[in-house]
Amino acid sequence: MKSYPALEIRGADTDRLFAAIDDLSATAIEEREDSVRVFFSTAFARDRAQTILTSDFDAAPLEVSDEDWARRSQADLQPVTVGRLTISPRLSVSPQLAPSVDIEPLAPSPGAQPLAPSPDVIVITPSMGFGTGHHATTRLCLAALQTLDLSHQSVLDVGTGSGVLAIAADRLGAARALGIDHDPDAVQAARENLALNPSARDVSFAVADLRTTPLARAGVVTANLTGALLIETATELVGAVAPGGTLIVSGLLAGERDDVVGALRRDENGGNDVPPTRIVWEFEDDGWVGLAVKKS
Ligand code: SAH
């Protein structure tokens, strides 16, 4: 059975820990009662992270079996509602029991649709693939997507994980959605999740690394990555947005916000005097930031 390399970190201040692991290619974070488990796609990445973290944190390596994690998560995870969407773990309770996450946009963009009272349900199997809706950054992206009119839009979801944002974009009316991830396991999980949502119309997933593969152009691009990766790939991400389109980013911590915005602006400017993009939505949740940037 497949198992996942992880670090069990005890007694850490979570803000400090999240900042420290930001650039260590972690694939998932599980906050437990008395520890934080940080998962990696390879034992090599885990061991490298341990070497780096060990001076500041009590970090012990472990292997977590997928079956244990998924089974426990199925029991533990409750549905999460963001606006008019509910992300429900497979085999879970009815959406009426979902705790509501109250995120309102600071500055709704023109053409934004009001949030309907009855949530639409998306089913996602809990697995190691990030994106069950329980992380603040996923919820921020889901909230940001709902400030846009997605009809007739193509959506590119960079770092799709469980596929939740691509499937959500379809549910919110996008003409088509493509999710890419450099982790083949994530793409496999995203495809399995898509099959659990048979009403999805035109959603596809592909294995691709944002650092090495040219991105397809889309009216809306979502990128829930890390602050460091957003800064590194700002040119590619802004370049993938069609004129008049919107880039939604999250995965950055509040302390990284200005650097990320600076990187997006640097690339927006392209040497011109007038920046051809502007921030149309911004929200912070639990120390994480979500931003929507509109390209002129
Ligand atoms: N979109 C989901 C998952 C975000 S987690 C959500 O919002 O919940 C970030 C994802 O980005 C992970 O699945 C990770 O594998 C992927 N990722 C990280 N670096 C990447 C890269 N260079 N190219 C493509 N995907 C990447």
Q: Mind listing the pLDDT tens digit for each residue in 279-295? A: 999 999 989 999 999 99
* Helix orientation angle between 164-171 and 136-145, rounded to the nearest 10 degrees: 20
Q: Answer yes or no: pTM beyond 0.85.
A: no
Average pLDDT, the chain: 82
Query: Where is pLDDT greater, at 134 or 16?
Result: 16
Q: Can you give the pLDDT at residue 256?
A: 95
Give the residue carrying structure tokens 């639409």: 120
The rounded Å distance from CA 182 to ligand 1 centre is 7
pLDDT value at 245 more than 90: yes
How many whole angstroms separate alpha carbon 145 and alpha carbon 218?
A: 14
CB of 283 within 8 A of CB of 105? yes
Q: Can you give the pLDDT at residue 100?
A: 41
How many whole angstroms separate alpha carbon 261 and alpha carbon 26?
A: 23
pLDDT value at 174 more than 90: yes
Q: How much of the chain, in percent, has pLDDT values that exceed 90? A: 53
The rounded Å distance from CA 78 to ligand 1 centre is 23
Query: Which whole number is the average pLDDT over 225-245?
Result: 95
Ligand 1, CB within 6 Å, residue ranges? 27, 130-131, 138, 141, 157, 159-161, 164-165, 180-183, 186, 209-211, 224-225, 229
pLDDT value at 187 more than 50: yes
Query: Which whole number is the average pLDDT over 146-169?
Result: 96
Q: Would you place residue 199 in the very low, low, confident or very high pLDDT band (cuts 50, 70, 90)? A: confident
Q: Would you place residue 111 in the very low, low, confident or very high pLDDT band (cuts 50, 70, 90)? A: very low
- Token pair listed for 178: 């493509």
pLDDT value at 108 more than 50: no
CB of 288 within 8 A of CB of 250? yes
Query: Which whole number is the average pLDDT over 234-261?
Result: 95
